[in-house]
């Protein structure tokens, strides 16, 4: 008699309130359903500026959030902010990961690192980016990807300053934004903001663009399951989830 695999128990630290409902939704979409634990972290200012994002991703903020997750039985932890990890550079990201792992004694990662891994996992070498951020923050994402030899063939910034506003974008707006920025010479389209809803629309986004689409909440959830050791092929969550690469 075979036993059903135990559900994954990922933990997420999510700054503020915008599109956090993507995480329990994805938890319900995978088989077996994942047990999602999400803690909201605080910040001084909801703004996509380097200064505000650096404060949002500070080790003191992350430590406080991690302490709220302690004892929850999670198997991995994600800092689910793309921009409040990549603006700090690779050293800053390493410090974020080390801080979380030290407090919670489980594997940790950030959304920015999840993007780098997910791009490699689908075999993409050239990417287009449709960023909701202001231009200077979007450029920092490209600089981050440079560390992993990922070529950016197109970069668009929508110039939205607050996460709260990004979280209000509806399905057709997101699909239109994707369509405007998909490029024939790109292997995939990246949409890098965890404040943007995407989980329910991943299949629609890929059908509309004809390309693999990687969104911030999608890659964060994928990375969380990978760190739990419980990645298995799934349908409905984009091409990233359809084939699981060998480690």
Contacts with 173 (C-beta within 8 Å, 6 or more apart), sequence order? none
Q: What is the pLDDT of residue 217?
A: 97
Q: Which two tokens stand for residue 184?
A: 């024939």
Q: In what order do the strands lie in the sheet with 126-131?
A: 151-157, 126-131, 188-191, 213-215
Domain locations in the chain?
A: 10-113+217-242, 123-215
Q: At the top level of CATH, which class does the domain 123-215 belong to?
A: alpha beta
Q: Which two tokens stand for residue 66?
A: 């991690």
Residue 10 has pLDDT above 50, yes or no: yes
Burial environment of residue 204 by CB neighbours within 10 A (0 to 12, 13 to 18, 19 or more) = middle
Reported as a single tens digit per residue, the pLDDT across 135-155 is: 999 999 999 999 999 999 999
Q: Which two tokens stand for residue 83?
A: 């921009």
Percent of the chain exceeding pLDDT 70 equals: 97
Q: What is the mean pLDDT of residues 69-85?
A: 96
Q: Report phi then psi at 230, rounded to 5.
A: -130, 35
Q: Which CATH architecture has domain 10-113+217-242?
A: 3-Layer(aba) Sandwich (3.40)
Instruction: Enter the DSSP assignment of 191.
Output: E
Same fold, 10-113+217-242 and 123-215: yes
Q: What is the pTM of this model?
A: 0.95
Where does the pLDDT of residue 245 fall: very low under 50, low under 70, confident under 90, or very high at 90 and above? low
- Concatenated DSSP letters for 80-131? --SHHHHTTHHHHHHHHHHHHHHHH-S-EEEHHHHHHHHHHHTT--EEEEEE
């Amino acid at each position: 008699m075979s036993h059903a695999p135990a559900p994954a128990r990922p933990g997420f630290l999510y700054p503020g309130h915008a599109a956090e409902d993507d995480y329990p939704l994805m938890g319900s979409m995978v088989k077996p359903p994942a047990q999602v634990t999400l803690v909201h972290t605080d910040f001084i200012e909801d703004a996509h500026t380097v200064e505000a994002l650096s404060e949002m991703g500070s080790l003191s903020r992350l430590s406080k959030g991690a302490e709220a997750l302690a004892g929850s039985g999670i198997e991995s932890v994600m800092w689910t902010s793309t921009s409040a990890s990549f603006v700090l550079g690779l050293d800053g990201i390493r410090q974020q990961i080390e801080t979380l792992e030290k407090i919670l004694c489980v594997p940790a990662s950030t959304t920015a690192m999840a993007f780098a891994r997910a791009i490699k996992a689908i075999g993409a070498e050239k990417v287009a980016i449709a960023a909701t951020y202001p231009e200077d923050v979007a450029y920092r994402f490209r600089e981050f990807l440079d560390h992993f030899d990922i070529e950016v063939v197109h970069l668009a910034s929508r110039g939205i300053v607050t996460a709260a506003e990004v979280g209000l974008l509806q399905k057709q707006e997101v699909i239109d934004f994707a369509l405007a920025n998909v490029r024939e010479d790109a292997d995939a389209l990246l949409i890098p903001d965890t404040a943007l809803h995407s989980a329910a629309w991943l299949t629609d986004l890929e059908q509309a663009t004809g390309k693999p689409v990687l969104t911030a909440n999608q890659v964060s959830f994928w990375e969380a399951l990978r760190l739990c050791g419980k990645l298995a092929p799934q349908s409905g969550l984009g091409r990233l989830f359809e084939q699981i690469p060998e480690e």
